[in-house]
Structure 1
Amino acid sequence: MAELLKVEKLRAGYGEAVVLNDVAFSLAEGQTLALLGRNGTGKTTLINTLAGATRQHAGSITLGSVALHKLPSHQRAAAGIGWVPQERNIFKSLTVHENLTAVARPGRWTPERVYEMFPRLAERKTNLGTQLSGGEQQMLAMGRALVVNPKLLLLDEPLEGLAPIIVAELLKAVSRITREEGLSAIIVEQHPQAILAISDTAIVLDHGTVVHSDSAKALRSNPELLDRLLGVAR
């Protein structure tokens, strides 16, 4: 498989504060990476850095043949980054349909395909963002990232604070997007077993550096190692 993303010697943070130090990893086309670690280890900062929302002090980020680290955030979407931040960042004063059509770019992911995957959104096409539940807002945030027709989807804790029935629906959707549709993704999540089950590879961050890298299957089958890496007491 061809390499899609390559991150080398990455140092980044907020202002003068460095959160990530010497981070390096790669991701092949069509693969999903589970990004794991305890709270405060730099996972969100890494996702934000890939999207262009932090200050990068050193290193490189390459998506295909494009040097992402040289581009502002709005140009990274055009280069192939689809970003679903923790805050979701939907346009709450626009309808569901307006949210999708406002950012759509030509490609296989259209608003109609998003509605087919998330029937709840189809039922609420004319509802404003403020009229959606938390789960529906997350579906819309994912839909907005998809209609940009990205090469790489960044999902920052997509299951956080959602009811179990919505979590199951979103996991099914993510599995379809990555497994069936072959879209590459990096997923940050506090439910490691759930995400490892639909990922190909995994890295664990601690104090802003990569402390473990393995196949998702190997890490999932070694719960004691996983608990130790994540600081979980049995």
Structure 2
Amino acid sequence: MQPDLLRVEKLSAGYGEAVVLHDVNFSLGEGETLALLGRNGTGKTTLINTLAGATRQHAGTIALGDAALHKLPSHERAAAGIGWVPQERNIFKSLTVHENLTAVARPGKWTPARVYEMFPRLAERKGNLGTQLSGGEQQMLAVGRALVVNPKLLLLDEPLEGLAPIIVAELLKAIHRITREEGLSAIIVEQHPQAILRISHRAIVLDRGTVVHSSGADELLHAPELLDRLLGVAR
């Protein structure tokens, strides 16, 4: 068993007075990937946003290694080791691809050069502005920006959403490399569970803001009826 990198205990959070997450508990080992599943509106994005510091936390603790994340503002969570790719991507659209990467880079093994090697499309568009990129290229840049922060934990919120199949395949290959080969811990929210369960170690399912299932990813992958039931899918 790997030591826990992330420990979330009795977490309640939401927006303003509205509480979306209730008493959420889970942990993630060093080098593990967690698939975060659930139907639309069950709190998946709120959980990712809470880890990144973008919601109002009402109760509970979040520990990343020795850092008490719940006590830190969002800008300090990156320094503590959080790399975040939100649904909106949040790239600097008025900067070039290269400026986007160098503006946030911190010392470590993930450099802009390594990002270009993993995403050759970005290397070809190094001098292009963020506004001149396709949706898929913007997503690659968002992942690259999160990597050059050299995080301990990568948060990916629906990284494959709305992208062409060829781009989805390219991103899945990159995510597999980042997590399985390079050993970077990650939490991935995805509407299409099969793709993510194949490259994850563990899975949790949220429903109405609470964890209703926790298991090995393989276990869910090979139990389609259970997965459909948990995600409210009618066969």
Q: TM-score, normalised by structure 2?
A: 0.99
1:194, 1:122 → 2: CA distance? Answer: 26
| Distance across 1 between alignment mates of 2:89 and 2:232 | 28
Q: Distance in 1 between matches of 2:120 and 2:169?
A: 15
Deviations 1:117-138 (A, max 9, x none): 0000000000000000000000
- Residue 8 of structure 1 corresponds to 9
Letter in 1 for 2:146: A
Partner of 1:119: 120
Task: For residue 42 of structure 1, report the CA deviation from its aligned partner.
Answer: 0.1
Distance 2:86 2:192 in 1: 17
Whole-angstrom CA distance in 2 between matches of 1:222 and 1:167: 24
Unaligned 5+ runs, structure 1: none
Shift of 1:91: 0.1
2:184 aligned with 1:183: yes
Q: Deviations over 1:73-100 (max 9, x none)?
A: 0000000000000000000000000000
Q: Distance in 1 between matches of 2:192 and 2:167?
A: 14
Matched residues in 1 for 2:211 and 2:119: separation? Answer: 35
Residues 1-234 of structure 1 mapped to structure 2, 5 A cutoff: 1-234=2-235
The root-mean-square deviation of aligned C-alpha atoms, in Å, is: 0.2
**Distance (Å, rounded) in 2 between the aligned partners of 1:233 and 1:112:** 45
Secondary structure of residue in 2 paired with 1:27: strand
Q: CA deviation at 1:2?
A: 1.0
2:229 alignment partner AA: R
SS in structure 1 of the partner of residue 25 of structure 2:
strand
Per the TM alignment, residue 192 of structure 1 is displaced from its structure 2 partner at its CA by: 0.1
Deviations 1:18-65 (A, max 9, x none): 000000000000000000000000000000000000000000000001
- Unmatched runs of 5 consecutive residues or more in structure 2: none
Q: List, as ranges, runs of 4+ consecutive aligned residues in structure 1 with deviation greater than 4 Å.
A: none
For this pair of structures, how many residues does the alignment match? 234
Distance in 2 between residues matched to 1:106 and 1:232, nearest whole Å: 44
